[in-house]
Chain A
Amino acid sequence: MAVVQAVPIDQARGRLPAAVHVIKPGMLTTIQDGGRWGFQARGVPVAGPMDPVSHRLANALVGNVREAAALEITLLGPELEFEDERLIAVAGAEFVMTLDGRAVPSNAPFIVSAGSRMRFGERRLGARAYLAISGGIAVPAVLGSQSTHLVSAMGGVEGRALAAGDRLPLGDPRRVEGMPLAPQAAPVALPDRHARIRVLPGPQRDHFTDDALEVLQSALYTIGQNSDRMGFRLEGPRLVHSRGADIISDATPLGVLQVPASGQPILLMADRQTTGGYPKVATVIAADIAVAGQLAPADTITFAVCTPAEAMTALIAQERTLMAVEARRP
């Protein structure tokens, strides 16, 4: 096994920043920060983490800023080798994980030493884990963000998922003071292949028959196989348009349920296009985006219409949990 030596620090001449080496990439591992906001008017998708709550928790656990670039790990995890000593943490989907053969916990920071190897094994619950490293991943920003958008090949490592042999440069860690945090309760209740997801009606509720929201809540929707970071193609009760299946194209927010002529809704997720021409019957509340992001093809969803007040209460509760961890940063 090739042991990678940390490059000696030479402040006067500058130095190559320390890095993480990708030994095995996993099924779909991408670099995500808080997302590429501010350019949707130019057609640039936001991207960012599918489960933003677990992404933020992982960063909080290692003392990073909230939106630092971290790894989003999908279904099958990677194998990584660290060049220097770092504090790292994994939140979100639950995997069996080992560091140089020893089990390491989720939702808790731990130290990796120079040359150590982290392996992801069996996945137990949820679809996407977030691995944050103190100092963050220092790939160049494109339009202000390091988030990978696969379709437009932007951000991350050359706009693509990680590949074996990639070397991910790391930023300088913030000064770490005090003891690392004890394991945290996960703020996202990981779904066991099924989730109840709350929506608010609209923006084009009035383009559907009167019973559309009842139909939406009447039975399970299954996430189709051709679903990805752009959206989940759902199979379930058919929604019926009242004014045709075309609208003058407009903006497509995160979590919106757009309904093409087939009547089968598509839940738009992190990598969605900025605009679309299908009516949108309802929108997932911000607090439930994270749990949606923990679902995978063949998993099922029950939708529940809620009130704006309930949506806000749920979001505030989630924020409190995250802020409590951020306040106790190591």
Chain B
Amino acid sequence: MSDYRVVAAGDSAIVVEFEERIDPVVNARTIAFADAVQAANLAGVRDVVPTYRSTAIYFDPLRTDSVALMACVEREAIRPVAPLAAGAAPVRIPICYGGELGPDLEAVAAFAKTGEDEVVRLHASATYRVFMLGFVPGFAYLGIVDDRIAMARRSTPRVRVPSGSVGIAGVQTGIYPAETPGGWQLIGRTPLKPFDPSRANPFLMKAGDAVQFYPIDRREYDAWL
């Protein structure tokens, strides 16, 4: 009796699905599985992509030993995962909240029936988990946002969201790594770049990381840039 399932996605990918819910424990298992498959370094495997509750394995069907791949999947999918530990130090990210850098902070405060300071306090006091990356290079889906400030995304997305903008969409929060269209409620902006291909490590975050935000004022923000 297994509590995962393997689904084919065409002839060049399989998806290994764990429990169907957004949950740090399920996500940790998904990421540990992805890391183990990656570490097995099987010939023909081109990419291993963990998401909230499933891991996709991309392979070249002409250069992959499917028996070896399935044996690896079966071995690693049932491996017990250590309970969520404190783990590595969280990634700490400065945010200048509100004002022109966070045009929706006021709306989120109204939604929460509280002041902007309290929204900032709630947003910056949690430790978030990177559940997965997607959308654009370096975009991390962070959770879980305090219910009180978990405002749904805007009914009409903005055509252009400046890079570095920090948004809320329900219980998710995240940073736009590049200027893109976007519908999340923008509460602030960070001077850090979540993705910069010219850096030795182009990515600020990876799936499974812990993340904390801390407020900075506009002068500190400007000085950072």
Contact = CB atoms under 8 A, between A and B. Distances in A.
Contact of A42 (B21, B55, B203): B203
Contacts of B50: 41
A86 interface: no
A94 to B, nearest CB: 27
A147 interface: no
Given A253-B13, A286-B61, A41 B34 contact: yes
Contacts of B98: none
B15 A42 contact: no
B141 A249 contact: yes
A46 B7 CA distance: 21
Contact of A200 (B10, B58, B136): B10
B12 A253 contact: yes
Contacts of B139: 43
A46 B46 CA distance: 11
Interface string B24-53: 000000000010000000000011111111
A217 interface: no
A152 B141 contact: no
Given A41-B206, A43-B136, A250 B62 contact: no
A219 interface: no
Contacts of A249: 51-52, 132, 134, 141
Interface string A20-45: 00000000000000000111111111
A311 B137 CA distance: 31
A42 B137 contact: yes
Interface in A152-211: 152-154, 199-200, 202-204
A274 B133 CA distance: 8
Nearest to A280: B9
Contact of B47 (A40, A143, A203): A40
Given A38-B47, A42-B206, A200 B11 contact: yes
Nearest to B12: A286
A41 B49 contact: yes
A253 B56 contact: yes
A311 B21 CA distance: 33
Interface string A258-286: 00000000000000011110001001111
Given A41-B34, A41-B47, A284-B10, A251 B54 contact: yes
Interface of A: 37-46, 142-143, 151-154, 199-200, 202-204, 248-251, 253-256, 273-276, 280, 283-286, 308, 311-312, 315-316, 319
Interface of B: 7-13, 15, 20-22, 34, 46-56, 58, 61-62, 132-141, 178, 180, 195, 197, 202-203, 206-207
7 contacts: A200-B10, A203-B9, A248-B22, A251-B49, A256-B9, A276-B134, A286-B61
